Amino acid sequence: MASALDVSSLAEDLLCPVCLSLFREPRTLECGHSFCATCLEPCVPKGQHRGLCPECRRPFSLHSVATNWALCSLAEKARLLKLDEGAQPGGGGSGWSICVEHEEPLKLFCSQDKGPICVICRDLPQHRGHIFLPVKNAVQKYQDKLKASLIPLKDNLNSATKDQHHQQKNIAELESCTQDLLGYIAKEFGVLHQILQEKEQGMKEIVERLKEENRMEMEERLKELDKEVTFRKETLSRARAEMDTSDHITFLRGIKELMRRVREDQSSRGGEEEEDSASDEGSSSDDDDCIDEDADVANGEEEEGDEDEANGEEEEGDEDDDGDIVAVDPALEEFKDSLDFEAWQEMLGTIQAATVHDGEVTPVTWN
């Protein structure tokens, strides 16, 4: 019995936290966590060199990622010994994962506690009145839920990516707008020669300040969208990986956290949550109803999935709202309209302009 526990523990230590399979080309990040090389790719936005660790969310640089040769060697040996198969039921091996407390096979899944248990755990007071499923049935149940969630997850990722690109475009537009405005100011102040040099500089500083404030808002929003895209890519990647996993026990151990991420992904983009916290603590009948509903949705969306993907992300993006996107500050255009150079040539000593920001008019004077 102790030998079975040791084999199961060793196999779990050699599993990638993302794909839940034995490590392949493991890479170690600055934070110390290791992942398969292919599992790290979705964590780094395209065209960038930095990403977030899937476990602790700490930033990492691609230049600092190193191959973990020791872990690679251990994983290869475990693969040759087929430790990943022998530590799970129905995975090609003959063993079951063992309950550490009772040293009994983990053959049941508690619908209320969302975890695998043995027959002794089932009879304990803390599981009294709970609903239990065979491990195989529980795996199928949650894989069906994940399958129904794949299309909404992908749609949310496409929406977030569209917002990300739109924000980047607005930052470029901000740069172009401010450059045009600065050129206009410089040209008109050339007519006023030395008298207007100080006033010209003052106006430029205001435009630069408005630009910087606007840019800070835009870049802050872009950072939030970067994090959102990374989170949704990771959630989608993990959901896809879980659909093909053969390690049922490890799958069920992590399903509670994965389903929480799925619900968070869907609720933050306005989608319907697959199941709420009340159904997690209540009877399993709510879960079963949710499964039936999710399966119906999955069947309907799978039939339309190929056609939707054929239309491309451009058509999907046209129907989506821009979301909470920071646009070029209208104060820049309002500031330009307030520059009446002909009138100022007649009253050089009392130049006054105004800025409009968030609906408030603020007089600006230079001494």
Domain boundaries of the chain, sorted by first residue: 1-87, 140-319, 331-365
pLDDT per position as a tens digit, 267-306? 876 544 444 444 444 434 344 443 344 434 334 444 444 4
d(Cα 112, Cα 99) in Å, to the nearest integer? Answer: 18
pLDDT value for 302 = 42
β-partners of residue 105 are 98
d(Cα 312, Cα 306) in Å, to the nearest integer? Answer: 10
Element housing 199 (H / E): helix 197-244
pLDDT value for 75 = 86
Q: Over the chain, what is the mean pLDDT? A: 76
**What CATH homologous superfamily does 1-87 map to?**
Zinc/RING finger domain, C3HC4 (zinc finger) (3.30.40.10)
pLDDT value for 193 = 67
The DSSP code sequence of 207-273 is HHHHHHHHHHHHHHHHHHHHHHHHHHHHHHHHHHHHHH---HHHHHHHHHHHHHHHHHHHHHTTPPP
Centroid of chain to Cα 14: 25
pLDDT value for 12 = 66
Q: What percent of the chain has pLDDT over 90?
A: 21
pLDDT value for 334 = 87
d(Cα 197, Cα 219) in Å, to the nearest integer? Answer: 32
Q: How far is CA 48 from CA 67, 94, 198, 313, 333, in A?
A: 20, 45, 42, 21, 33
Q: Which residues of the chain have a pLDDT value below 50?
A: 1-5, 86-95, 271-320
DSSP state of 66: E
DSSP state of 43: G
pLDDT value for 99 = 87
pLDDT value for 234 = 92
The three-point CA angle 271-275-277 to 5° equals 115
pLDDT value for 152 = 93
